[in-house]
């Protein structure tokens, strides 16, 4: 697989950026439910435009006019190349979703979300440095192993070799993984008890069943016990993301932030 330079660094804000998008989507949920039929018609229209009843042509990211310095956080600059790396990855996901729903990607909105995510990331890293968190070799190795597994790469050595081909040496990778471990510790210290309750798990399971039914799924829905581990991780991730958002919001109150988009 191909992993771009600064790829690990972008992982630090993926959840945060996704949360920003999710929060915006939640505000629009009611309207979306009322417009389900309209969305279906849009999707059909998009398919018809292809000329063969298939999916519309994949849109391309618009990166014209991106300033050399996208934002500045307490004197630290977020450069254009860092923004573009993250934007391209997030845009690809948004474009694939666009093909499924028939809704055009709002690139201006996505750019603002990415910029805010990068600002949030920078604030978290700055706070980590202030609090002087430490990351042990064991913690770094475990995180590296988890990253390799998430990307379906068999070993950390192979993972490092893949990143090296993309321009990241081992020292740079280790530095970024160490930062991720420290940020995880910061979020964990702010999260407190995030263990999902029985009620939360059951509610999430009902949502899974409803979603499969809505999508016309014909297969048998897995039992609650089968999906419980995955649901636990999902809920814990959501709670951590909300804590991250709250922490960033508080940090930003006293921060000197300029966004140039």
- Mean of per-residue pLDDT scores for the chain: 79
The more confident residue out of 106 and 53 is 106
Please report the sign of the dihedral spanned by the C-alpha atoms of residue 94, residue 95, residue 96, residue 101.
Answer: positive
Average pLDDT on 167-186 reads 87
Write down the pLDDT at residue 198.
92
User: How much of the chain exceeds pLDDT 90, in percent?
Assistant: 30
Write down the pLDDT at residue 55.
53
Write down the pLDDT at residue 130.
93
Tell me 73's DSSP state. E
Q: What is the pLDDT of residues 137-164, one digit of tens each?
A: 999 999 888 888 877 888 999 988 888 8
The structural domains of the chain, with segments of one domain joined by +, span 7-26+44-205+226-259
| CB neighbour class for 174 (10 Å; exposed up to 12, middle 13-18, buried from 19) | middle
Q: Which CATH architecture has domain 7-26+44-205+226-259?
A: Orthogonal Bundle (1.10)
The more confident residue out of 74 and 241 is 74
Strand partners, 259: 71
Rounded to whole angstroms, the Cα distance separating 79 from 156 reads 29
Question: E-assigned strands of the chain?
Answer: 69-73, 76-79, 257-259
Q: What is the pLDDT of residues 58-67, one digit of tens each?
A: 778 899 999 9
Percentages helix, strand, coil for the chain (3-state, rounded to 5) are 70, 5, 25
Average pLDDT on 70-92 reads 91
Rounded to whole angstroms, the Cα distance separating 74 from 81 reads 19
| CB neighbour class for 123 (10 Å; exposed up to 12, middle 13-18, buried from 19) | buried
Local confidence band at 48 (pLDDT 50, 70, 90 cut-offs): very low
Q: What is the pLDDT of residues 224-238, one digit of tens each?
A: 899 999 899 889 888
Rounded to whole angstroms, the Cα distance separating 82 from 6 reads 7
User: Which of 138-147, 211-220, 250-259 is most confident?
Assistant: 250-259
Local confidence band at 254 (pLDDT 50, 70, 90 cut-offs): very high
Local confidence band at 56 (pLDDT 50, 70, 90 cut-offs): low
Average pLDDT on 69-90 reads 92
Query: Is it the case that residue 190 has pLDDT exceeding 80?
Result: yes
Query: Is it the case that residue 31 has pLDDT exceeding 80?
Result: no
Query: Is it the case that residue 50 has pLDDT exceeding 50?
Result: no
Query: Is it the case that residue 250 has pLDDT exceeding 50?
Result: yes
The more confident residue out of 147 and 68 is 68
Write down the pLDDT at residue 45.
45
Strand partners, 11: none
Write down the pLDDT at residue 29.
41
The residue count of the chain comes to: 261
User: Which residues, 6 or more positions from 209, have their beta carbon under 8 angstroms from its beta carbon?
Assistant: 221
User: Which residues, 6 or more positions from 8, have their beta carbon under 8 angstroms from its beta carbon?
Assistant: 147, 163, 168, 173, 176, 177, 180
Write down the pLDDT at residue 206.
92
């Amino acid at each position: 697989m191909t992993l771009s330079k600064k790829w690990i660094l972008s992982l630090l804000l993926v959840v945060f950026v996704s949360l920003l998008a999710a929060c915006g989507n939640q505000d629009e949920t009611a309207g979306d439910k009322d417009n389900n039929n309209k969305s279906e018609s849009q999707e059909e229209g998009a398919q018809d435009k292809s000329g063969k009843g298939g999916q519309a042509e994949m849109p391309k990211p618009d990166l014209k006019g991106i300033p050399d310095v996208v934002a500045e956080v307490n004197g630290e600059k977020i450069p254009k190349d860092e923004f573009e790396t993250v934007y391209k990855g997030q845009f690809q996901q948004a474009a694939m979703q666009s093909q499924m729903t028939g809704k055009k990607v709002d690139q201006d909105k996505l750019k603002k979300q990415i910029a805010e995510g990068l600002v949030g990331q920078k604030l978290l890293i700055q706070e980590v440095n202030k609090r002087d968190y430490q990351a042990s070799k064991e913690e770094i190795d475990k995180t590296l192993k988890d990253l390799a597994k998430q990307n379906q790469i068999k070993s950390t050595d192979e993972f490092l070799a893949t990143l090296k081909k993309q321009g990241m040496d081992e020292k740079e990778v280790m530095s970024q993984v160490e930062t991720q471990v420290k940020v995880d510790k910061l979020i964990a210290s702010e999260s407190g008890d995030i263990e999902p309750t029985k009620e939360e798990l059951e509610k999430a399971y009902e949502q899974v069943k409803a979603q499969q039914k809505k999508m016309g799924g014909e297969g048998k829905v897995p039992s609650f016990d089968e999906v419980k581990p995955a649901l636990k991780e999902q809920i814990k991730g959501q709670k951590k993301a909300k804590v991250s958002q709250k922490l960033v919001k508080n940090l930003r109150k006293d921060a000197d932030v300029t966004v140039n988009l």
